[in-house]
Amino acid sequence: MDNHGHIVNNVAEVRGRIAAAAARAGRNPDDITLVAVTKTRTPEEMAAAVEAGCVDLGENRVQEYLEKREKTQHLAENSQKFQKNLNIRWHLIGHLQRNKVKYIADGVSLIHSVDSFRLAEEIETRAAALERRIEVLLQLNPAGETQKSGVAPQEAEALALEIAGSLPHVAVTGLMAVVPIAEDPEEVRGLFREVRALYDALRERHTNVPDGALPEFRRLSMGMTHDFEVAVEEGATIVRVGTGIFGARV
């Protein structure tokens, strides 16, 4: 099988595993969005994923995202199959510097990596200028890893409320977490569970109440290739899968 065929097969396999994990947890698989993480991949590889139905694409670096977006425009002009799926939603999943926000503000669908009020303020400025609202997730660092960005779980509620209370063009729609890579994904189940408990608590206090401060809070982005099934069992509504779709990054 060629690379294109492998990618199409892998997308189906990952979707099957998401559905099975959802079933184990009594969840509807339609409530889980698969983001295909396309960092380092070629436009042809991306096209294979899009043709297999992955219209949510994730990039972790702004420069690469901008290049990819331009290349997919070109692909769209040359591929009918691709055109059918042209409603691509771009997810920025990596650390975002404030001076880069201006480059992504018009095209991004969801920023997963907001971890400070100052970053949110910059998003507000750029979104307001474009007369759009930008949806964001607050990135958590649940294991307290010093080399990783993200807010400590105990700071998330205050940050969410501060943004919701003062930045009308920034919509806080949920939480995102990156957990340590463990040989056995069972080792991170406890962390996923903690993130889920925080998510539920915020929804209970600020979403599922009249005039709640976080009316759009409904997304939980967690789980990557090595642990997405555990993440789905623990309540993820978005999983971010690269290697499992495209093979090992070289």
Residues forming contacts to ligand PLP in the complex (CB under 6 A) are 37, 39, 60, 93-94, 178, 224-225, 240-244
Give 169 or 185: the residue with its C-beta nearer to ligand PLP: 185
d(CA 87, CA 56): 9
* Whether the Cβ atoms of residue 101 and residue 126 lie closer than 8 Å to each other: yes
Minimum gap (Å) between residue 237 Cβ and ligand PLP: 15
Give 127 or 179: the residue with its C-beta nearer to ligand PLP: 179
For 149-189, the DSSP string reads: --B-HHHHHHHHHHHHHH-TTEEEEEEEE-----SSGGGGH
Minimum gap (Å) between residue 42 Cβ and ligand PLP: 15
Give 73 or 243: the residue with its C-beta nearer to ligand PLP: 243
Two tokens, residue 204: 């209970």
d(CA 90, CA 59): 8
Minimum gap (Å) between residue 225 Cβ and ligand PLP: 3
- Please report where in the chains the tokens 């993130």 appear, as a residue: 195
With CB atoms as reference, the residue minimizing the distance to ligand PLP is 242
Q: Strand 110-114 to strand 89-92: parallel, antiparallel, or no bridges (unpaired)?
A: parallel
Q: How far apart are the first and last CA of the chain?
A: 20
Measured in degrees and rounded to the nearest 5, phi and psi for residue 137 equal -115, 150
Give 153 or 223: the residue with its C-beta nearer to ligand PLP: 223
Minimum gap (Å) between residue 55 Cβ and ligand PLP: 17
Minimum gap (Å) between residue 228 Cβ and ligand PLP: 8
Give 100 or 205: the residue with its C-beta nearer to ligand PLP: 100
Measured in degrees and rounded to the nearest 5, phi and psi for residue 235 equal 110, 5
Minimum gap (Å) between residue 249 Cβ and ligand PLP: 7
Minimum gap (Å) between residue 170 Cβ and ligand PLP: 20
Give 235 or 242: the residue with its C-beta nearer to ligand PLP: 242
Give 72 or 225: the residue with its C-beta nearer to ligand PLP: 225
Angle at which helices 189-206 and 153-166 pack, to 10 degrees? Answer: 30
How far, rounded to the nearest angstrom, does the alpha carbon of residue 73 sit from its chain's CA centroid? 22
> How many other C-beta atoms lie within 10 A of the C-beta of residue 79?
16
